[in-house]
Amino acid sequence: MGLEGRIAIVTGSSQGIGKAIAETLALRGAALVFADINVELALATAKEISSNTGQKTIAVHVDVSNFESAKIMVEKTIDEFGRLDILVNNAGVTRDNLIMRISEEDWDIVLNTNLKGAFNCSKAAIRPMMKQRYGRIINISSVSGLAGQAGQTNYSASKAGLIGFTKALAREVASRNITVNAVAPGFVPTALTANLPEELKEWMLKLTPLGRMGKPEEIAYAVAFFASDESAYTTGQVLSVDGGMMMM
């Protein structure tokens, strides 16, 4: 699944799953744009992965909830590399609580980042992809978007919305040789899951046939497939990488 000569943006790529995705794409030959709201951390991560892989990397500040910020991110990518081939909409946040306790602000933050963020970045990226008649868009959803999760009505709604967004956009842009797919991770230890109650973690492990948590790089391998030419005939799909949790 070589990506030599490809240019990729990964949002929320300074740590966790996003960092693993970016490094995996770089190891396969892609040049990387590390797009993150924490540009200093993104710059440090970009330098680290460039050193590890030998690929050219840049760091760009982006607030994915703001379309103008997403547009500037894409413009900087085109200015630096001349094209954009791969967009991974990974940036996400949580504000977990029971619905009676979720504030309107916490609802808006999660939906604006996780769902509207994917819309903003995809909208900004689509025009150059359509002009070059090639593109790969991969959205990072979640098993919470497939099955729902108590205490996560905002997060589950945003990730379920991403699945519908993926399928609709895939239909819109297929004629221009642009594919749009989603990866739905299961329980992977990251900064987003660090504060989950221990009893919830134990319950999630019981629901996972493989009996263990996932690794960030295991999510990244699925993204690498969707980013590659080997997936050219695959679009509008959701791949659960969850240890069997969502087996039907």
pTM of the predicted protein model: 0.94
In a domain, 169, yes or no: yes
Catalytic residues: 155
In a domain, 197, yes or no: yes
pLDDT tens digits in sequence order for the chain, 248 residues long:
799 999 999 999 999 999 999 999 999 999 999 999 999 999 999 999 999 999 999 999 999 999 999 999 999 999 999 999 999 999 999 998 999 999 999 999 999 999 999 999 999 999 999 999 999 999 999 999 999 888 899 999 999 999 999 999 999 999 999 999 999 999 898 766 666 667 777 777 888 889 888 999 999 999 999 999 999 999 999 999 999 988 85
Query: How many domains does the chain divide into?
Result: 1
2 located within any domain: no
- DSSP of 108-171: HHHHHHHTHHHHHHHHHHHHHHHHHT-EEEEEE--HHHHH--TTBHHHHHHHHHHHHHHHHHHH
Asked if the structure places residue 231 within a domain, the reply is yes
Structural domain that includes position 86:
7-239
Residue 245 domain-assigned? Answer: no
Domain containing 48 — which CATH number? 3.40.50.720
Residue 246: inside a domain: no
- pLDDT of res. 181: 98
**Is 244 domain-assigned?**
no
Task: Report the distance separating Cα 76 and Cα 33, nearest Å.
Answer: 9
Say how many CA atoms lie within 13 Å of 191 toward its Cβ: 11
Q: Is residue 191 part of a domain?
A: yes
- Dist CA 129 CA 179 (whole Å): 10
pLDDT at position 193: 65
Q: Which helix (H) or strand (E) holds 45?
A: helix 39-53
The pLDDT value recorded for residue 32 is 98
Taking alpha carbons only, the member of 155, 139, 156, 138 closest to residue 147 is 156
